[in-house]
Amino acid sequence: MSVADRAARNRLALGVFAALVVVLGILTAALDLPLVELFTVGTFERALQAATPIALAAIGGLYAEKSGVFNIGLEGFMIFGALTAAAAAWFPSEGAAVTQAHLWFGIVAATVVCTLLTAIFAVLTIRYEADQIVAGLAVWFIGLGFGPFTATVVWGGVSSPSLPNIDDLAVPVLADIPVVGRLLFDASPLVLFTVVLAVVAWVVLYRTRYGYWVQAAGENPEALDTAGVDVNRVRYAAVLLSGALVGLAGGVLSVGIGSGFTGTGVTMVDGRGWIAIVAYLFGNYNPLGAFGASLLFGAMDMLQVQFQTIGISLPGSIVGLFPYVAVLVVLALVGYTRTPSAVGEPYDTEE
Amino acid sequence: MLRATVLERFAIAVAATAMALALGAVIVAASGYDAVEFVSSLVYGAFGSRANVAFTLRQSTMLILAGVAVAVAFRSGVFNIGVQGQFVVGGFATAVTILFLAPVLPTGAVGGALLVVLGVVAAMVAGGAYAALPGLMKAYADANEVITTIMLNFIASGVVFFVVDRYLRPAGASAPNTEQFPDYVQFPSLVFDSASFSVIGLGVALATVVVVYVVMARTRFGYDLVTSGHQEPAAAYSGVDPKQTVVATMTFSGMVAGLTGAVFAIMILGYYSDPSTFPRFGFDAIAVSLLAANNPLGVVPAGLLFGGLDAGGQYIGFTLDVPPELVDGVVGLVVLFVATPELFRMAGKRTGLGGDDR
Q: What is the pLDDT of residues A54-102, one digit of tens each?
A: 999 999 999 999 999 999 999 999 999 999 999 999 998 887 888 999 9
Alpha-carbon gap, residue A2 to B338, rounded angstroms:
38
Alpha-carbon gap, residue B263 to B112, rounded angstroms:
14
* Mean predicted lDDT score pLDDT of chain B: 90
CA quadruple A307, A308, A312, A316: dihedral, nearest 10: 80
Contacts of B152 (CB under 8 A, 6+ apart): A324, A328, B82, B85, B130, B133, B134
Is there a contact between A124 and B339 if contact means CB atoms under 8 Å apart?
A: yes
Predicted confidence band of residue B355 (pLDDT cuts 50, 70, 90): very low
Which of B31, B79, B151 to substitute to test the interface with A, most A CBs within 10 Å?
A: B151
Please give the radius of gyration of chain A, using alpha carbons only, rounded to the nearest integer: 21
Is there a contact between B137 and A336 if contact means CB atoms under 8 Å apart?
A: no
Q: Does B27 touch chain A (CB under 8 A)?
A: yes
From the CA of A264, how many Å to the nearest CA of chain B?
A: 10
From the CA of A151, how many Å to the nearest CA of chain B?
A: 10
Is there a contact between A144 and B332 if contact means CB atoms under 8 Å apart?
A: yes
Q: Does B166 touch chain A (CB under 8 A)?
A: yes
Q: Which helix (H) or strand (E) holds A186?
A: strand A186-187
* Mean predicted lDDT score pLDDT of chain A: 87
Which of the 8 DSSP states describes residue A160?
P
Report the range out of A76-85, A176-185, B8-17, B175-184 with the highest average pLDDT.
A76-85
Alpha-carbon gap, residue B154 to A192, rounded angstroms:
31
Of B32, B137, B276, the CB nearest to A265: B276
Kindly report, residue by residue over B301-325, the tens digit of the pLDDT. Answer: 999 999 999 999 889 888 887 888 8
**Mean local confidence (pLDDT), B90-117:** 94
On chain A, the residues whose CB falls within 8 A of the CB of B327 are 145
Q: Which helix (H) or strand (E) holds B147?
A: helix B145-163
Alpha-carbon gap, residue A318 to A307, rounded angstroms:
12
Give pLDDT, residue B2.
Answer: 46
Residue of A nearest to B313 (CA): A145
Alpha-carbon gap, residue B81 to B99, rounded angstroms:
29
Which of the 8 DSSP states describes residue B198?
-
- Assign residue A267 a region (left: φ > 0; alpha: ψ between -120 and 50; beta: otherwise): left
Provide, rounded to the nearest whole percent, the portion of chain B with pLDDT above 90: 59
Give pLDDT, residue B230.
Answer: 76
Contacts of A35 (CB under 8 A, 6+ apart): A24, A28, A310
Alpha-carbon gap, residue A288 to A279, rounded angstroms:
11
On chain B, the residues whose CB falls within 8 A of the CB of A140 are 332
Question: With the C-alpha atoms ordered A135, A143, A280, B145, is the resulting torsion angle positive or negative?
Answer: positive
From the CA of B208, how many Å to the nearest CA of chain A?
A: 25
Kindly report, residue by residue over A98-118, the tens digit of the pLDDT. Answer: 899 999 999 999 999 999 999
On chain B, the residues whose CB falls within 8 A of the CB of A123 are none
Kindly report, residue by residue over A22-43, the tens digit of the pLDDT. Answer: 776 776 666 666 666 667 778 8
Q: Does B143 touch chain A (CB under 8 A)?
A: yes
Give pLDDT, residue B14.
Answer: 87
Give pLDDT, residue A282.
Answer: 84
Predicted confidence band of residue B258 (pLDDT cuts 50, 70, 90): very high
Alpha-carbon gap, residue B94 to B124, rounded angstroms:
9
Residue A156 CB-density burial (10 A; 0-12 exposed, 13-18 middle, 19+ buried):
exposed
On chain A, the residues whose CB falls within 8 A of the CB of B276 are 265
Tell me the whole-structure pTM to 2 decimals: 0.90
On chain A, the residues whose CB falls within 8 A of the CB of B148 are 327-328, 331
Residue of B nearest to A157 (CA): B323
On chain B, the residues whose CB falls within 8 A of the CB of A328 are 137, 143, 148, 151-152, 155
Residue of B nearest to A326 (CA): B151
Which of B154, B243, B283, B337 to substitute to test the interface with A, most A CBs within 10 Å?
A: B154
Q: Does B177 touch chain A (CB under 8 A)?
A: no
Please list the alpha-helical segments (H only) found in chain A. Answer: 3-31, 41-66, 74-90, 100-122, 132-155, 180-184, 189-207, 209-219, 221-226, 231-251, 272-282, 287-301, 303-310, 316-319, 322-334
Give pLDDT, residue B240.
Answer: 82
**Mean local confidence (pLDDT), B280-301:** 93
From the CA of B217, how many Å to the nearest CA of chain A?
A: 25
Q: Does B316 touch chain A (CB under 8 A)?
A: no
Alpha-carbon gap, residue A298 to A47, rounded angstroms:
5
Q: Which helix (H) or strand (E) holds A187?
A: strand A186-187
Contacts of B298 (CB under 8 A, 6+ apart): B291, B292
Give pLDDT, residue A32.
Answer: 65
Kindly report, residue by residue over A118-151, the tens digit of the pLDDT. Answer: 999 999 999 999 989 899 999 999 999 999 999 9
Kindly report, residue by residue over B118-157, the tens digit of the pLDDT. Answer: 999 999 999 999 999 999 999 988 888 988 999 999 999 9
Contacts of B203 (CB under 8 A, 6+ apart): none
Is there a contact between A134 and B142 if contact means CB atoms under 8 Å apart?
A: no
Which of the 8 DSSP states describes residue B67?
H
